[in-house]
Chains A and B, each alone.
Chain A
Amino acid sequence: MKKAVFVYSPEQLGYKFSESHPFNHKRLTLTMDLLKKINALNEDHIIPARIATDEEIALAHDIKYIEVVKQAGMGLLTPEQTVHYGIGTEDTPIFPHMHEASSTLVGGTLQAVDAVMQGKSRHALNLGGGLHHGFFSKASGFCIYNDSSVAIRYLRQKYNVRVLYVDTDAHHGDGVQWAFYDDPNVCTLSIHETGRYLFPGTGNITERGSGKGYGTTFNFPVDAFTEDDSFLMIYENALKEIFEYFKPDVVFTQNGADAHYLDPLTHLCGTMKIYQEIPKLVHKLAHEYCDGKWIAVGGGGYDIWRVVPRAWSYIWTEMNDLPAPSGPLPKEWIEKWQKESPVPLFPNWEDPDPLYKPIPRKPEIEEKNAQMLQKALQIIKNEQFKQ
């Protein structure tokens, strides 16, 4: 069995709103080229993304909505006709063949699921996926089809496994959370910047699931200006406690890379350090609890030149038990992409130190986050107390 497969097809790059839109899958090209230049990725690792069928997409979406996406992508509908479905907005504009491009992102994630569940590889990565804001009958926040919701339903139906969904994107994983809010066999865990200012505004600790799914939704909203140490403290504690509490058969991670200081859309002030640590712990726990079954997708990440390629590379090297890359980035990679990049690329895997000026009120922010962690995990403590 392979350690990991890397799902990719050039068709995934067709998910493109416009030249100036912040969501840009050129990130995939940049990341793959970086991994190839350090000899971590070769053609043997790559499996193509397939196109998800309408029936598969309908596992998590309204058939009527799929029809609207198809017609919009063929130029048959105007934004006035689609805005009710969240399409044709400034966030999620209409673009040609949007159904086909979106289906390839979903199909990629399904390929990753099958590779792991059919024992072809221990882990699988589809960086084109992770579109966690997509709703049942509405696009939201750059996301048309929610590949993760479709894939988790697919895991439930085809393989009947308990799934832990871990979302470290700086934005709350609302689409996936609401899709499984009452499902006791899917546990969602999202750590994100608090919704006080940031989209989508939800993801409060009091959102815990409903009905039979009560207690299988966890949210860890961290403050703006949280920085590495506090972020990782929350992440590590939350992940360990929830793996032990939920005991999943499979772990599915969404790896948005937008909690970095340089990300234009968020305020968490993380550095590359968190992207080294995130895959490490989930990898270890996947082996302890899930016989290694770990499916990972991409997500947000809007500094596509300086942040995302390095951040995402660490997931792939971790999956393959390679040491985390350090020191200078490959010269050829920098030379090749510097020509296109509007900003100077960083010379090393590590961020420049210091990356930014010290932030006031750090101890208070850390204290507040720690308090949030206790409250968010209280439900587990209560359960343990009962037993």
Chain B
Amino acid sequence: MIVEEIMKTDLITLTPKNTVLDALQLMKNKQIRHIPIVDEDKKLVGLITSNTLKNRLSLENIENRKLKNIIEDIMIKDLITAHPLDFVEEIALTFYEMKISCLPIVSGGKLVGLVTASDLLYTYIELTGANKPSSKIDIRVEDKPGILSDIMSIFKSHNANILSVLLFPDSKDEKYKIVTIRVQILNPLSIINDLKKENFNVLWPNLPGVTQ
């Protein structure tokens, strides 16, 4: 999945000559926390976040005079940006490592989109398939080739439609992995029985300390 598939393109921006008060009001009215600052050519020149306002307007200088200052004086100019063709996994890493909450997307020198941490989280929700009617089954498997194919052939024999598959390391034993499958079915019992017949360790539900 690439950034242009998840970024917001309906952008709310200000210019460097707008005032700090403008930024505060816009954040309040639109219920947003990030405002990219662009010049007349839509070139990205800065960023104002609710954190910027909090950190750079110290208690002593919150006076009307300061609020009438222009944005240029306080905006973040040292910007981290991404490209529409970047991978979502890559920008997720950027969010995590740089401890940021918003990433302006720039192409051809112009601001073309914005991705916030909330947008990334929603993408994760969609990836897990949790937004469609389905059951979830966890299976603890040995970390070796071919296992996933063995599991999938059982789902196929039940004509069961899979919405998502996630694979992650077992936190207790690195020789094992947990396969999490969201499947569009209310009654997964016949699938579970077939998995158990093939000696798969099915965790349905998976509550450490209770089911293991």
A196 to B129, alpha carbons, bound, how many Å? 11
Does A267 belong to the interface (CB within 8 Å)? yes
Distance in Å: Cβ of A36 to nearest Cβ of chain B = 31
Does A89 belong to the interface (CB within 8 Å)? yes
**A199-B207 CB under 8 A given contacts A89-B159, A90-B158, A140-B133:** no
Does B94 belong to the interface (CB within 8 Å)? no
Does A264 belong to the interface (CB within 8 Å)? yes
Does A195 belong to the interface (CB within 8 Å)? yes
A224–B207 touching, CB < 8 Å: yes
- Residue on B nearest A264 in the bound complex, by CB: B189
Distance in Å: Cβ of B179 to nearest Cβ of chain A = 14
For B134, the chain A residues whose CB sits under 8 A away are 199-201
Does B45 belong to the interface (CB within 8 Å)? no
A91–B136 touching, CB < 8 Å: no
**Which one of B31-39, B141-149, B180-188 is at the A interface?**
B180-188
Distance in Å: Cβ of B175 to nearest Cβ of chain A = 24
* A83-129 with Cβ < 8 A to chain B: 89-91
- Residue on A nearest B186 in the bound complex, by CB: A141
**A265-B205 CB under 8 A given contacts A200-B133, A201-B133:** no
A267–B135 touching, CB < 8 Å: no
* B107-161 with Cβ < 8 A to chain A: 129-138, 158-161
Interface size range of chain A in the complex: 20 to 34
- Residue on A nearest B132 in the bound complex, by CB: A201
**A90-B189 CB under 8 A given contacts A196-B205, A201-B132, A361-B210:** no
Does A305 belong to the interface (CB within 8 Å)? no
Select A90's contact among B136, B182, B185, B207, beta carbons within 8 Å: B185
Select B135's contact among A22, A201, A360, beta carbons within 8 Å: A201
**A22-B207 CB under 8 A given contacts A196-B136, A201-B132, A201-B133:** no
Distance in Å: Cβ of B161 to nearest Cβ of chain A = 8
Counting chain A CB atoms within 10 Å of each CB, the highest count among B131, B133, B136, B137 belongs to B133
A133–B186 touching, CB < 8 Å: yes
* A168-193 with Cβ < 8 A to chain B: 171, 174
Distance in Å: Cβ of A44 to nearest Cβ of chain B = 37
Binding site for A on B (CB under 8 A): 129-138, 158-161, 182, 184-190, 204-207, 209-210
| Other contacts beyond A199-B134, A361-B209: 7, CB < 8 A | A133-B133, A140-B186, A195-B136, A196-B205, A201-B130, A224-B207, A267-B204
